[in-house]
Chain A
Amino acid sequence: MAPIYVASGQVVVPGELVAEGHYEVSGPHVVVGRRVYAKALSVAVVEKPKRVRLIPIKQRYIPAEGDLVIGRVIEVGPTYWLVDINSPYTAILQASEALPRLQQASRDLSEVFQVGDLVAARVLSFDFTHDPLLTVRDPKLGKVSRGLLVEVPPSRVSRVIGRRGQVANLIQEALKVELLVGRNGRIMVVGREPDGEVAAAYVIQRLCAQPYVEDPLEEARKLISQAAGGAR
């Protein structure tokens, strides 16, 4: 039996030996010969006897094609906007990805999105050599002017969505809000009433406070009943 050197919930430092032999390891790691080492500060989770997941404790958001992100306009150019997407790579939104063709040449772009505006956008492309390109061509995308912005570590966003969207659906139904979940760690909570927004923001923040949560759906359920109890 090939040895494994970590237990679930254990914090591993870069360079720490995780396992030796035939293991399926996900998350940042390096393989040298038969040995698997952690590559970044992470929490280890032993998912199956032969499968280990390393969840990085801090990781910047790296754009991937198709990701929904919530960006912040930081500069208006003549034919584009520069958008901070909470990543080491600043994104570009071309006018052609936001406006009908006829308006592209004539319109002052700051009338559409100004500096400081939040926009929901999708990543069109990114390959490290060029800055990521965004699009807002989709009914759900564009300027976000209502709701509460919640910021969480990007590596923990997936637990807010949950398997087949279960966690997000639960929050939305229980607290009567709509979630716009940016892969870049920015989540907009839009509700009919401010109380629901504040409660949902609390649930999301608490759900993402720890590097690892065993059962996000169950945890969300608990947090929702706490939040609802606190509101009364």
Chain B
Amino acid sequence: MERAHTLIPLPRREAIRSMIKRGERIDGRKPDEYREVKIEVGVAGNADGSARVSLGHTKAIAGVKASIGPPFPDSPNAGTLVVHAELIPVASPIFEPGPPDENDIELARVVDRGLRSAPALKLEDLVLVPAKHVWRVFIDIYPIDHDGNFIDASGLAAMAALLNARVPKYAVAPDGTLSKSEERVALPIADVPVFVTIAKIGDALVVDPCYEEELVMDARLTFVLTKDGSVCAMQKGGRGGFSVDEIVRALEMAQKVAPELRAKLEAAARAA
């Protein structure tokens, strides 16, 4: 459906690609320039943590709900993390209502891998009674206006919501019974991974592609970067490929913008 929205007029496609050859972008950015990032936390009061992120016109919101339940049988000494994402029609005429399709699932799994392997949360600190009572943390992510690169927007929103989350403090009696206190505490954060996507358009690489750039790109590559600058997850998407040299260049571009994105996340969480 809505073919008209995923089809870029050929003259426009040529204009975008030839500008990029000259090192220019349609929205006036430089190839390694990220769009203006805005992060706001606490936007959904019934969530334990929430955030709204915008990259230019692209916007996503994420909410955290945590509850106490049994751990997964294969990891009795760890809390659980579940990431769910849905590309809802609110965000773009190209998204259809209905059960999650491969794009929704890819988005959720890329964010999940990034948060899990960093790791963002110390899951082992989310255990109240081993094998019995652990914290189960759910993150739900919804892009609400799509102008390209909803992976980074979603990843940033998810991480901001985790930083914003406050859950009730529980005391565990010697016999294993739980008692909830009024006090609310932050989740045990281990790292603050950030998501940075690079698009390949012809021979050029650009960071944080907007929607029209995504329509003309050959491929994209997302890096998830931890505080020490290393990569904790990657995802290549799109029909084209990357040379080894391009991958290295893309990584360097991503590493250049990551610290600033992380600083914004941390500042937004502190400001709340």
Bound Cα distance A84, B7 (Å) = 10
The interface stretch among A110-118, A166-174, A206-214 is A110-118
A149 proximity list for chain B (CB < 8 A): 9, 11-12
- Chain A residue at minimum C-beta to C-beta distance from B3: A74
**Chain B 1-43 near chain A by CB (<8 Å), digits 1 or 0:** 0011001111111010000000000000000000000000000
User: Which of A84, A116, A146, A147 touches B13 (beta carbons < 8 Å)?
Assistant: A116
- Contact call A115/B11, Cβ cutoff below 8 A: no
Within 106-141 of A, Cβ neighbours of B (below 8 Å) are at 114-118
Bound Cα distance A84, B93 (Å) = 15
Smallest beta-carbon distance B176→chain A, Å = 61
How many residues of chain B are within 8 Å of chain A by beta carbon?
10
Q: How many residue pairs, one in A and one in B, have C-beta atoms under 8 Å apart?
A: 30
- Chain B residue at minimum C-beta to C-beta distance from A114: B10
- Chain B residue at minimum C-beta to C-beta distance from A188: B11
- Chain A residue at minimum C-beta to C-beta distance from B12: A149
User: Which of A75, A118, A148 touches B10 (beta carbons < 8 Å)?
Assistant: A118
A72 at the interface (CB under 8 A from B): yes
- Contact call B7/A115, Cβ cutoff below 8 A: yes
- Contact call B3/A144, Cβ cutoff below 8 A: no
B11 proximity list for chain A (CB < 8 A): 118, 144-147, 149
A117 proximity list for chain B (CB < 8 A): 9-10
A84 proximity list for chain B (CB < 8 A): 3-4, 7
- Contact call B4/A74, Cβ cutoff below 8 A: yes
Bound Cα distance A115, B4 (Å) = 10
Bound Cα distance A145, B8 (Å) = 14
- Chain B residue at minimum C-beta to C-beta distance from A70: B9
Smallest beta-carbon distance B211→chain A, Å = 14
Smallest beta-carbon distance B201→chain A, Å = 16
Bound Cα distance A145, B10 (Å) = 8
Within 180-230 of A, Cβ neighbours of B (below 8 Å) are at none
- Contact call B8/A75, Cβ cutoff below 8 A: no
Bound Cα distance A31, B7 (Å) = 41
B10 proximity list for chain A (CB < 8 A): 114, 116-118
Bound Cα distance A147, B13 (Å) = 13
A75 proximity list for chain B (CB < 8 A): 3
B3 proximity list for chain A (CB < 8 A): 74-75, 84
B8 proximity list for chain A (CB < 8 A): 116
Bound Cα distance A22, B4 (Å) = 44
Smallest beta-carbon distance B212→chain A, Å = 12
Smallest beta-carbon distance B147→chain A, Å = 15
- Chain B residue at minimum C-beta to C-beta distance from A146: B11
- Chain B residue at minimum C-beta to C-beta distance from A116: B10
Bound Cα distance A69, B80 (Å) = 56
Bound Cα distance A74, B6 (Å) = 10
B interface list, Cβ under 8 A from A: 3-4, 7-13, 15
Sample of 14 more A-B contacts, CB < 8 Å, known A72-B4, A116-B9: A72-B7, A72-B9, A74-B4, A75-B3, A84-B3, A115-B7, A116-B10, A116-B13, A118-B10, A118-B11, A144-B11, A149-B9, A149-B11, A149-B12
A interface list, Cβ under 8 A from B: 72, 74-75, 84, 114-118, 144-149
8 interchain residue pairs of minimum CB distance: A116-B10, A84-B4, A118-B9, A74-B3, A72-B9, A117-B10, A74-B4, A116-B7
Chosen A-B contacts, 5 in total, with CB atoms closer than 8 Å, are: A84-B4, A116-B7, A116-B13, A117-B10, A149-B12
